Amino acid sequence: MTIAKQINWKTIMAGTALSAMLVLSACSGGGEEAPEEEPTSEPGTTEDASTEVDDTDEAGTDDNETPDSDSGDADESSDELSWGEGETQLELGETGEIHSTLGKYDITVSNVSYPETVDGEPIGYEDATYVLVDVSINNKTENALPAEEVSISGIGSKDDAAYSENRTIYEEIENFTGEIPPGETMEGEVLFRSTMEDEFQIRFGNSAVSNELFWNFEGPNAE
C-alpha cells in the first residue's frame, strides 16, 4: 500500500509540472507583437504619384484648348465655296471673274459686231443675225485651262431666260482652242446665231459649276 501511494503522488507532480510548462510556453509565444510600420510619404510613393498625374491632366487640358484666333480662321474657311455662286451684270468693256470647278479666270467682253456672212454663208432666215463677240480670258490659276471649255457661252434676250450656245464650226472665226497657261491671257472670238433683239445678253459660266457673268448691250436695230 505504501508503494502504490508513492507512485500516484509522483504522477500527479509530473502532470502539474508539464501543465505549468505549457502555460509558460503559450504566454511567451503570444505575448510578442510585430511592430507597426509607419506610413511614409517620400517622393515616388503612391500618394505623390497620384498628385503628379492630376497636375499633368490639368496641364494637358490647357494645352488642348483651341485659341480664339484658330477658331476664327476655321469660321472663315467654312465660308469658302468650292466654286462661285451668284450672278454679275456687266457692260461691254468690263471684266468679270469666274470661279469654277476648273479654277479662277477673268473674262472681258470688249466688242460686238453683226456680220452679214460667216465663211461666205448668210444667216439663212429672216429676223435673225450673226453676233460676233471679241473676248479675252485670263487664267488666274496655277494650272492650264482648256480654252474651249472656259469660252463656252450663250446669247439671248435680256428679258428671256432662253440662250443659244456659241458656234465653233466656222473657220473664219478666231475660236478658242488648246490651253491657256497659268497667268496668261488668250484673246479670241465667239460667234452666235440669234434672233434679232433690241437688247442682247451674253452669258459666261454655268450655275451648276460656277458663278455666272452677264454682259448686256443693245442690238443693231435698237432705237
Nearest to 196 by CA among 141, 152, 157, 148: 157
User: Which of the two residues, 188 and 124, has the higher pLDDT score?
Assistant: 188
DSSP for residue 190: E
Dist CA 90 CA 87 (whole Å)? 10
Q: Confidence band (pLDDT; 50, 70, 90) for 201?
A: very high
- The 10s digit of each residue's pLDDT in 141-178 is 999 999 999 999 999 988 776 788 999 999 999 999 99
Q: What is the pLDDT of residue 204?
A: 97
- The 10s digit of each residue's pLDDT in 86-135 is 999 999 999 999 999 999 999 999 999 999 999 999 998 889 999 999 99
Q: Confidence band (pLDDT; 50, 70, 90) for 3?
A: very low
Mean pLDDT of the chain: 76
Over residues 71-76, mean pLDDT? 40
User: Which of the two residues, 58 and 157, has the higher pLDDT score?
Assistant: 157
End-to-end distance of the chain based on CA atoms, in angstroms?
170
Q: How many residues does the chain have?
A: 223
In this model, does residue 76 exceed pLDDT 70? no
Domains of the chain, start order: 92-116+123-216 (2.60.40.1240)
Q: Confidence band (pLDDT; 50, 70, 90) for 69?
A: very low
Q: Which residues pair with 87 in a beta bridge?
A: 212
Give me the half-sphere count of Cα atoms (radius 13 Å) on the Cβ side of residue 105.
31
DSSP 18-61: HHHHHHHHHHHHHS--PPPPPP---TTSHHHHHHHHHHHHHHHH
In this model, does residue 215 exceed pLDDT 60? yes
| Residue 105: burial class (beta carbons within 10 Å; 0-12, 13-18, 19+) | buried
pTM exceeds cut of 0.85: no
What sign does the CA torsion over 71, 75, 78, 84 have?
negative
CB-CB neighbours of 40 under 10 Å? 8
In this model, does residue 200 exceed pLDDT 60? yes
Dist CA 21 CA 194 (whole Å)? 134
Q: Confidence band (pLDDT; 50, 70, 90) for 188?
A: very high
